[in-house]
Structures are given as C-alpha cells and as structure tokens.
Amino acid sequence: MSVGIFFSQRFAGRSVAATGLSAHKEIPELPDAMTDRRCSAALSLILVAEITDLLSTMKFTARTADISRTGCYIDMLQPLPRGTQVHVRLQSQREVFESAAMVMYVSPGLGIGVAFAENLAAHQQAILDRWLASAAKAAR
C-alpha cells in the first residue's frame, strides 16, 4: 500500500495550520497549550516519518501532522526529549526527504516539533518545496 499525501483534519474549520501563527501565540485547542515558535507557515500534511535518535540510534516510526520549510510536527505517543538530535526521514509515495533535525518542543503524549538542519541539500529542499506547493494548492 502506498501512503501518499493526505491532509490532516486536525484543525478542520480553523485557519491555524494554513496561515501559521505569530510567534508566541498560544494554541488553546491543544490540551497542553504550547507556544508556537515557527519561523515559517506550516501546512497540514500527513507523511510517513521515521525518526532516528542519533545518540541511542533507536528508530521510531510515526507520522507528520504538519510541515513547513523549516521543520515539522510529528505525532508520537512517547515523544523524545527537547534538544534530542535526530535524523528525520519523511516519505510520500516513492519520494523521500531526509534531514538532520533537533527536537525543539515536546507535547507529552502527543508529539514533537522538530527543526530541520539549516544546510539542506538542494535536492532535499526541492522535494520539500514540491510537497509544500502541492499541499498549499490542495488547501485552497
């Protein structure tokens, strides 16, 4: 079964994911409200995610909930601690995006927000940009 790109209904009827939030705005819909620290708008996009903790080399399979040019939110029941260095591998159908990343925030029992490495390879950035363009087009 190929997974493909699916759009999250997580914020259905709300424009939070499509427009992004200004820095330090609370998200009251989430049980443990956190501060949004994104520096680029995120789009709801569910992708298969494989996260590898670089210190322990443990691998976790999860899924993204939303994604931007600088990072993504990954649904995980047992999130990794803030500051953990990870390798993120995202897959949509046969296309794969990979990046070193760091866990920037944790929502206990729900997931983690990760920031991608700033020095992405051009072909990796191109994959991410294609996915984001496709998600933005579908969200209109």
DSSP secondary-structure letter at 91?
E
Tens of pLDDT, residues 53-111 = 999 999 999 999 999 999 999 999 999 999 999 999 999 989 999 999 999 999 999 99
Tens of pLDDT, residues 1-12 = 333 333 333 333
Cα–Cα distance, 12 to 1 (Å, whole number): 26
Two tokens at 69? Answer: 């040019």
Cα–Cα distance, 81 to 92 (Å, whole number): 26
Tens of pLDDT, residues 109-122 = 999 999 999 999 99
With tokens 């994604």, the residue in question is: 67
Closest CA to 37 of 132, 108, 113: 113
Q: What SS3 state is found at 132?
A: helix
In the predicted model, is pLDDT for residue 20 greater than 60?
no
- Classified by CATH at the fold level, domain 16-139 comes out as Thrombin, subunit H (2.40.10)
Residue 135: pLDDT band (50, 70, 90) is confident
CB 44 within 8 A of CB 11: yes
CB atoms within 10 A of CB 60: 17
Domain positions in the chain: 16-139
